[in-house]
A and B are shown apart, each in its own frame.
Chain A
């Protein structure tokens, strides 16, 4: 089950709810990714000072510093500005996805997620992120 692609991943999961954190961690770990966890935005930012993950899987509603704020902080920091950030949220009402994408997330996965589609969605997000980044680099060139 361990794929080459996923085994190269270093994933930062920012999630305040321990069970949800545990599920995501277990699944990603199962597929070979290295997982770093943070219980809120502040912790997440602390980790980002030391480690540069492949992408960040981020809950939105959290104490201290929520996902929206942490995203701003990540984007504000040149060192982390280009990191792919994927929202993993139970905010699944109509319009939520739009808000999430407009805020600058690179992906939107709703809870409860299904194992069958979870990894595919992450990969799709990373691919579209890569395409976007490439386009931007090309434009800069």
Chain B
């Protein structure tokens, strides 16, 4: 109820104010000073105008200022009053003219005695300010109105100068009626001062408790306000800087620039607004001369036609450092050779670095706002993701590998480390994933594993192959052994019976029988040789030839080997010599049977293919611990084209000598193979019709060496 009353009262007041406002605007046009003023100030303005008006009315009535001098004084008084309120000077002048100059008013004021009009006019003049005061200041309104009525009643007698004490009464009435104006005025002023002071106190409190340094400067760039935060920032006490030029707080190199900024503040502000920013970062200078970066928000305030600036500033050293760190980190992330993804706690991607884009094929724009599951290939077991979330939601770092899918569908492997980002309270705010493409490494590992598998398989195959080869060799060896046995067994009967008959154990033989049996025997012998040679070749080729190492008394050995050939050679009328060089040690180490095989093959060939001349067998010591068995003859010789293949199996120089001289064609092959097996070789020099020289060169091993080895 009371509220309704109050609000209706207020709306009434507002209506009146609007009315008066309109009146004043009419009066004071073109001054716009009243526009937007608060009601309180409007009241002040009103009283500032009405009081001199009331005063003028009073003086006119009391002093009966008929003389032009007094009227002038009156005008001057009103003008002075009006001038004292600079702002309303124009208005005061207008009123002064109205009061002092306008004839109707002057006529009114010069009336003698009561007139009805004079009374009404006086009342109006007196009542208006009372009523206005009462309306404008509701709490005092009733009192003021009552006082105004009392003042009016008291002032009435003054309207008739003939009444006793009229002047005194009029003066008293005026004072009573006018006093409220002064009361109201002083009340308003006090309240304004209180309010201003409380506002200032509050402002100061705010200024000082504000997190920011606040400085104001006047139009001359002199510091007019310097709050506590500013003191802390600059190291100056307010007293030290107030009234000082602002440049005190700037590094020298910026002072000139600052002056320019001040000049162009208007344009710059417009520019800042256009750019959506009104804050600038500049360097401040402390009392000790050091500088610091600060962020400044500047606003322009016009006070009484003077342009002041207010600057809100704060030290951004820390923020700069953090920004710097962030820039570095950001740069590192941008440059990183591994993918970096930052998601919020729900897994929504907030950041990806260029490497991520490169690896996955998703652009930054495509990735932001997505969930990393866009990379899922479906090749990972769900447990992996479960484990991942359990780990990182509990604040720990998860490490593992993902088989993921790129935008183009290609699969790739990455090693991933996902760490939660915790805020000061330990709450997870983001997740950072660092991911390295390890497809190549995986592939390499796979290749290595594959190779290892293949190697293992090869090794297995090799082992099997070796086993098979060994088995095959064993079978071959067994076969050779069996062959040897099975061939020798019938030969034993053939040769045996033949020799029995040739020996005459079965009685006398005819010449023809004897001759045939000789041939049987010779063929049997050939067959035996062939068998021996074939088996030897087979053995050498099967690697079954085992050489013994035993001392060989070389001179008796050669004698033993050559004895039978010497007889054969001499039977053919050939000269035969066998010489061991004096350089040769008495005893060498080797396989006597195999050496004998080499020697007999060569010497028997020599005897076989030589019809006249000589056969020479020589054993010589060569340099480099080698020795040579040289068998030379003056036989048919071997054509140069045949010398290349003479050592091959079943080859003789050509068809005809073979027919003529017989033989298996295996002798030289055995010689060469044996020589090679012993670590040596065999050479041939021959000329058709002049003879051949076979030289077998072998490493010389002596007993000293074998002892030394042992």
A residues adjacent to B (C-beta < 8 A): 17, 19-20, 22-24, 26-27, 30, 61, 89-95, 110-115
Closest to B536 in A: A94
Q: Which residues from chain B sit less than 8 Å from chain A, CB to CB? A: 480-481, 484-497, 499-500, 503, 505, 524, 528, 535, 539, 545-546, 593
Residues of A within 8 A of B493 (CB): 17, 19-20, 22-23, 112
- Most chain B C-beta atoms within 10 Å of own C-beta, residue among A22, A30, A92, A93: A93
- Asked whether, in the complex, the Cβ of B500 is within 8 Å of the Cβ of A23, the reply is yes
Contact A23 B485 (CB under 8 A): no
Chain B residues with CB under 8 Å of A26's CB are 496, 500, 505
Would you give 18 A-B contacts (Cβ < 8 Å), ordered by A? Answer: A17-B493, A20-B489, A26-B505, A27-B500, A61-B485, A90-B487, A90-B489, A91-B481, A93-B480, A93-B539, A94-B545, A111-B488, A112-B492, A112-B493, A112-B495, A112-B524, A113-B495, A113-B496
Min CB gap A28→B, angstroms: 11
Q: By the criterion CB–CB under 8 Å, are A23 and B481 in contact?
A: no
CB pair A93 B489 closer than 8 Å:
no
Instruction: Tell me which residues across on chain A come within 8 A of B488, comparing CB atoms.
Output: 90, 92, 110-112
Are B500's CB and A30's CB within 8 A? yes
**Nearest neighbor of A23 in chain B, beta-carbon distance:** B496
- Contact at A112–B528, with CB atoms within 8 Å? yes
Contact B484 A112 (CB under 8 A): no
CA distance A23 to B495 in the complex (A): 9
Query: Is the Cβ of A111 less than 8 Å from the Cβ of B489?
Result: yes
The 8 Å CB contact of A93, one of B484, B500, B593, is B484
* Cβ–Cβ contact A30 & B481, under 8 A: no
* Chain A nearest CB, measured from B708 CB (Å): 27
The reply to whether A114 and B495 form a contact with Cβ atoms under 8 Å apart is yes
How far in angstroms is the closest Cβ of chain B from A140?
Answer: 32
- Using a Cβ cutoff of 8 Å, how many contacts connect chains A and B? 75
Asked whether A92 lies within 8 Å of B484 as measured between CB atoms, the reply is yes
In the bound complex, residues from chain A placing their C-beta under 8 Å from that of B545 are: 94
Contact of A20 among B487, B496, B500 (CB under 8 A): B496
Do A27 and B505 touch across chains, with their CB atoms under 8 A apart? yes
Q: How far is the CA of A115 from the CA of B503 in the complex (A)?
A: 8
Residue of A nearest to B493 (CB): A19
The CA-CA distance from A72 to B674 in the complex, in Å, is 37
A116 to B481 Cα, complex, angstroms: 26
Nearest residue (CB) in B for A88 is B492
**B495 and A90 form a contact (CB under 8 A):** no
Q: How far is the CA of A114 from the CA of B502 in the complex (A)?
A: 12
Complex Cα spacing A126 to B481, Å: 28
Is there contact, CB below 8 Å, between A114 and B489?
A: no
Chain A residues whose CB sits within 8 angstroms of the CB of B593 once the complex forms: 94
Which residues of chain A come closer than 8 Å to B480, judged between CB atoms? 93
- B485 CB contact (under 8 Å) in A19, A22, A90, A95: A90
Residues of A within 8 A of B499 (CB): 114-115
**Measured between C-beta atoms, what is the minimum distance from A29 to chain B in Å?**
9
Q: Which of A27, A89, A90, A91 has the most CB of B within 10 A?
A: A90
A20 to B500, CA, bound (A): 12
CB of B484 within 8 A of CB of A23, answer no
Cα of A93 to Cα of B524 in the assembled complex, Å = 19
**A93→B480 CA distance, assembly (Å):** 9
The chain B residue sitting closest to A21, CB to CB, is B493
Residues of B within 8 A of A27 (CB): 496, 500, 505
Q: Establish whether residues A93 and B496, one from each chain, have CB atoms under 8 Å apart when the complex forms.
A: no
Contact A113 B500 (CB under 8 A): no
Q: Report how far A44 CA is from B575 CA in the complex, Å.
A: 53
Nearest A residue to B480 via CB reads: A93
Additional A-B contact list (14), CB under 8 Å, known A94-B593, A113-B495? A19-B492, A23-B493, A27-B500, A90-B485, A90-B492, A92-B484, A92-B485, A92-B488, A93-B481, A111-B492, A112-B493, A112-B524, A113-B492, A115-B500
B402 to chain A minimum Cβ distance, whole angstroms, is 68
How many angstroms between the C-alpha atoms of A141 and B221 in the bound complex? 144
Among candidates A24, A95, A111, residue contacting B491 with C-beta atoms closer than 8 Å: A111
- Taking A26-B505, A30-B505, A113-B492 as contacts, is the C-beta distance between A93 and B497 under 8 angstroms? no
Q: How many whole Å from A111's CB to the nearest CB in chain B? A: 4
**Considering residues B486, B500, B535, which has the most beta carbons from chain A within 10 angstroms of its beta carbon?**
B500
Contact A94 B539 (CB under 8 A): yes
Contact yes or no, B546 A95, CB < 8 A:
yes
Contact of B496 with A112 in the complex, beta carbons under 8 Å: yes
Across the interface, name the chain A residue whose C-beta is closest to B593. A94
Residue of B nearest to A98 (CB): B548
CA distance A61 to B484 in the complex (A): 13
Most buried by B among A17, A26, A92: A92
Bound-state CA distance A94–B548 (Å) is: 10
